[in-house]
Amino acid sequence: MRKNNKENNKNNLEIYEGIFGIKDYLSPSYINLNNPKYIEIDDIYYSSIIVVNYYREYTDLILKNLIDSNINMNISIFYEKKDTYKIIRELTYHIGNVGVDLNTNNKNRQDIEIAAFTYNDAKYIRKEMQLNNEELYFLYIYITIYSKDKKELEYLINKTQGIMQSKGLMCKKAYFRQEQTFLSCLPIMENNEDIKKISKRNILTSSLVSTYPFISSNIFDEEGIFIGTNVENNSMVLIDRYNTIKYKNANMCIFGTSGAGKSFYTKLLILRNRLLGIEQYIIDPDREYTKLCENLNGTLLKIGPSSKTFINIFDIREETIEENERGYLATKINKLMGFFNLIFGEMNEEEKAIIEEKIIQCYEEKGITFEDNSLYKEETNKITIKKVFKESTDMPRLEDLYKILEKDEKTQIFKIKLIPFIKGSLKFFNNYTNIQINNQIIVADVYELGEENLKYGMYIFTELFWDKIKTKRNIKKAIYLDEIWRLIGVTSNKNVASFIYKIFKTIRKYGGSAVAITQDVSDLFSLENGIYGKSILNNSSIKNFFLLEEENIKILSENTNLSEKEKLEIRSLKRGECLIFVENNHILTKIEAADFEKEIIE
């Protein structure tokens, strides 16, 4: 019976021998071990280095410069914990013997110094283990470098040795030990006995930190979108800015001179976020996003002399305030005061009070008061009567305010400043809203407004998009404010800048991301000694710095923790490269795009 069972087991094994398994998939076509300097596996050459000694005192991470390089390599580190009681006993024995030798023997000066050296080392290690609960480990470090070209491999080996020696790491090439070192660098947890003796060095627990290998500033969010590659080590940069666990908010700043690549980068973000179904609203003062909008089947809104789409600045929308909140008219008045500050200039408290009084009067003439119920009207059909929120045609227009201002001598100057909006070149602002916004990508084109009037259109669309962003908290969305300095710079005012700052500060609650884009960093910090620019910068978890002028770098260094090295990097960035700050990680990144993405964008 036993014999039959053995035969069955043997037959089963023979059956499996003819199957092409996982091991066969992983196995190389050939392995050449004939050369003592390298191993050849499937047309790739591998050569290894063994670390044999270190500086006595090292305060930096010993592998940092090596990992930050772009050399293809595998690094294997082994820690072998030793028995504390046994080590202390051996140290005590050693200290006693050497101490006697130092006191009694009359050897040459060099021998005495070496003995004293090891004596003091042993006393230090024993003290750390006894008093500070340190433990002793044996440390082994192996490095395998690979390349498809033998000459390049030799160059990389020498370069690696140079990097390591400059940091106080003594190493040897693993000639005649290539196979053993190669196997020790594979993820199979094998520290080969043939090379352990020459690489073994003792180390205390506190010193293990210096061997920590994961020290390159990398961002690789599992659900992030691909940004580009790390210039220093060619690793991929993937960022999920909506990860609320990892980042305090999803806001971004994108700064760079004209032609540095910031617009291409912004469009790339829009394109990739579109694939994820994220709602995106773009303020476009320079008509840069029109083609992208068309290619992505977005909605293009234009406001200007030739446009046929209008937005009424007096509109109060149902989504202006959240459910269970109150104060439609009060909320709207605050926003309108920002808009009229752009038209009338900075007003004193008396002037603000007068304008607010006239705005309230405008709404009263339309039957709208501070009672929220006044914003609803009855709609009757054949069966029922229901209350619905009032439409744009039920709201005042700029012309209504103009007529009220005309009746009061104290407000004549304000009436005069409104003339272009009622009878002149900007009369397209004096219309009822005639557009519905229901698309995942909406571009607001304000290019036709011209340099002087851009801020009016940018403000109106920003307010409109902000109301849209607040509708559904569970949907990811983003608002892109190109040339944001126009809204928070010296040509703006505190009311408008405060509104923009509020967006950056609170948009996180609504599942949103605010993106500030500008090439005029100095203008961004020009209003109120730069407090609004600095606030927006501080409320952005992700900061992207493309090539900048010296003046802008100086301003940024005053408001961020730019190091001297990073200042030099920003000055010398190539087109399409940027320095990305993601929380505490600072990564020099090359923006990467596929050919089909470039076609869509360009």
Question: Could you give the angle at which helices 494-506 and 450-469 cross, rounded to 10 degrees?
Answer: 40
pLDDT one-digit tens code per residue, 367-416: 999 999 999 998 877 677 788 999 999 999 999 999 999 999 999 999 99
Could you give the 3-state DSSP secondary structure of residue 230?
strand
- pLDDT value for 109: 56
φ, ψ for residue 456, nearest 5 deg: -65, -50
- pLDDT value for 578: 95
Q: pLDDT band at residue 92, thresholds of 50, 70 and 90?
A: confident
Q: pLDDT band at residue 302, thresholds of 50, 70 and 90?
A: very high
- pLDDT value for 121: 79
Checking if the pLDDT of 461 tops 90, the result is: yes
Dist CA 229 CA 220 (whole Å): 11
279-284 and 477-482 as β-strands: parallel, antiparallel, unpaired? parallel
Please indicate, yes or no, whether the overall pTM of this predicted structure exceeds 0.85.
no
Could you give the 3-state DSSP secondary structure of residue 226?
strand
What number is the average pLDDT over the span 219-236? Answer: 87
- Average pLDDT over the chain reads 88
- pLDDT value for 119: 79
Amino acid found at 191: N
- pLDDT value for 231: 86
Residue that the structure tokens 């459910």 belong to? 323
Inter-residue contact 344 to 417 (CB < 8 Å): yes
What are the start-end ranges of the H helices in 296-394? 328-344, 349-365
- pLDDT value for 564: 82
Which region among 5-14, 42-51, 196-205, 520-529 has the lowest average model confidence (pLDDT)?
5-14
Could you give the 3-state DSSP secondary structure of residue 560?
coil
pLDDT one-digit tens code per residue, 408-446: 999 999 999 999 999 999 999 999 999 888 899 999 999
- pLDDT value for 570: 93
Which region among 81-90, 282-291, 573-582 has the lowest average model confidence (pLDDT)?
81-90
Return all residues near 177 (Cβ < 8 A) that are at least 6 apart.
48, 50, 194, 195
**Cα→Cα distances 385→377, 378, 379, Å:** 10, 6, 6
**Cα→Cα distances 429→287, 306, 529, Å:** 20, 12, 32
φ, ψ for residue 219, nearest 5 deg: -125, 115
- pLDDT value for 474: 87
Among 220, 221, 238, 259, smallest CA distance to 577 is for: 259
What number is the average pLDDT over the span 454-458? Answer: 93
Dist CA 532 CA 534 (whole Å): 5
Q: Percent of the chain scored above 90 by pLDDT? A: 62
- pLDDT value for 1: 45
Inter-residue contact 481 to 518 (CB < 8 Å): no
pLDDT one-digit tens code per residue, 127-181: 888 888 899 999 999 999 999 999 999 999 999 999 888 888 899 999 999 999 9
- Tokens found for residue 9: 């087991």
The H or E element that residue 379 is part of is strand 376-380
Among 554, 548, 547, 487, smallest CA distance to 514 is for: 487
pLDDT one-digit tens code per residue, 546-566: 999 999 999 988 888 788 878
Residue that the structure tokens 């750390």 belong to? 128
Residue that the structure tokens 């230090």 belong to? 124
Checking if the pLDDT of 106 tops 60, the result is: no
